[in-house]
Amino acid sequence: MTPATQTAQTLGAALRDNATVRQAIESIVGEVRTASAEITEIRGPREGLSEGYNAFMARVGDIRGRGLYYPYIGSGLGNGALVELADGSVKWDMIGGIGVNFFGHSDPELIEESLIGGLDDVVKQGNLQSNDDAYRFADKLLELAGRNSSLKHCFLTTGGALANENALKICYQKHRPASRVIVFKDCFMGRTTAMAQLGDEAAYRQGVPLTVGVDYMPFYDEVAAERMGQTQFIDMAVMHLEQLIERYPSQHAVFCFELIQGEGGFNLAPREYHKALMECCKANGIAVWDDEIQTFGRTTSMFAYERLELGEFIDVLTVAKMTQASATLFTEKYNPSPGLLSGTFSGETVSFRVGRRILERLDEPGRYGADGLHARHHKLFAEQVRSLAAKHPEWFPPIPEIRGATNARDIVGGDGGMMRMTPFSGDKATTIKACKACYDEGVILFYCGHGPYHMRMLPPLGVMRDEDWPRVFEVVERAFAKASA
């Protein structure tokens, strides 16, 4: 964005380029490398740290009003997929803050960017006053998105749910007075007042006044499609959508698509399914919003819409998590009127610098495609699950077909760095018990789905090594043995 012929330099730029400053940053990064290199294996708490850690965890529960799901407080140091906790224990981090930390812990390049960002005159960037880091991040994101879509503009904010709120407002304004929203069954949209109403989880909106008109579409069900035939299943889905549109004529502003469901169970659908629904939206003047907050960057394509060749249909898109900063992207047609989007904060200087470097690293060759890095790691994950199932078939009984659920018969699912396995018939209680047993043994993962329930991993594929997978599953095997006892 800086003209190539520009030679003059601001005092701020001169500070960042200062030889003494650069040497100090390199020295700090070197010290981090040295300390990080000492973390090579999982281990239990260090002697003398457990008592203080447990006392602090109790205080955390008092502060929050309830305890943490996992007793996790990081020490601030890790090594790739390994993370040290404040009690000195070390675990495999296979969930990465629900997908935030794609490049693991103590990554030297990202720490360097953080240190440079820490030199800025302010911590927070804002929509009224901002330094150039925010726009350099947004510019790179638009460059990547624009390769296979018509997305042209970007508005930054401080969280995924807020990016979704902005997407909803954009679509409302464009299609006013239409106010109804279509989403998929089992979707998750965030926990703001509006997003809690869109998400298909009753517990997340208890006590929240219902002010948003929401209609739920069935997500693709591979069991039902196999039974009916895929063409017939897709035709039925389109008919369902048309019935909603006829029931509320001209009242739908937007259909929000999760091209791969996240919290709903890492559910996939073929291109033909999404394409038919998007074509129906276009024919009826309904915006197509692609929520890629969990999918962006980690599947076998940078954007999930690229994997399915659907970029031509996308009007609005949201990203967050891995990007560190959150963003709403939109086409020229959906560029809103002044005043609709704003907010005091757009994000932190460090988040924008780190986020841009992550985008650059994601854009390096060899990461995506059927033979790319992400596909290879998914294959290695699947091999470990199937090997475990062959060794312990009692842990992987058949997955029951549940009427109305997005079913899966395979014990392995997902795409790229979205990985799920389905032990214990997808039973919720046993699955949660197994998740907590994995944590206790030294692997951090989580669950997803709404029956069947799955165990999911969002591993740090940016730094994950092939040889890490057997070591991770050695721990998983011990944990499953305890959970099934």
CA–CA distance from 403 to each of 407, 420, 450 (Å)?
9, 21, 12
What pLDDT shows up at residue 152? Answer: 98
What integer pLDDT is reported at residue 403 of this predicted model? 62
Domains of the chain: 40-99+368-485 (3.90.1150.10), 124-362 (3.40.640.10)
Q: What is the structure's pLDDT at 401?
A: 78
pLDDT value at position 400?
Answer: 84
Separation between Cα atoms, residue 425 and residue 394, nearest integer Å:
10
Per-10-residue mean pLDDT of the chain, 485 residues long, equals 68 96 98 98 96 95 94 98 98 97 98 97 94 97 98 97 98 98 96 96 94 96 90 97 98 98 94 98 98 97 98 98 97 97 95 98 97 98 98 94 70 96 95 98 96 95 97 98 93
Integer Cα distance of 186 and 218 in angstroms: 9
Residue 7: predicted pLDDT: 75
pLDDT at 6: 62
Residue with tokens 């076998």: 300
Contact 268, 340 (CB under 8 A): no
The pLDDT of residue 4 is 53
Query: So what's the pLDDT on residue 5?
Result: 54
Q: What are phi and psi of 301, to 5 degrees?
A: -140, 160
Strand order in the sheet with 454-457: 412-415, 418-421, 454-457, 446-448
Contacts of 89 (CB under 8 A, 6+ apart): 42, 43, 44, 45, 46, 442
**Computed from CA positions of residues 382, 43, 68, 425, in that sequence, does the dihedral angle turn out positive or negative?**
positive
- Residue 404 confidence (pLDDT): 58
CA Rg value for the chain: 23
Residues β-bridged to residue 155: 328
Q: What is the pLDDT of residue 321?
A: 97
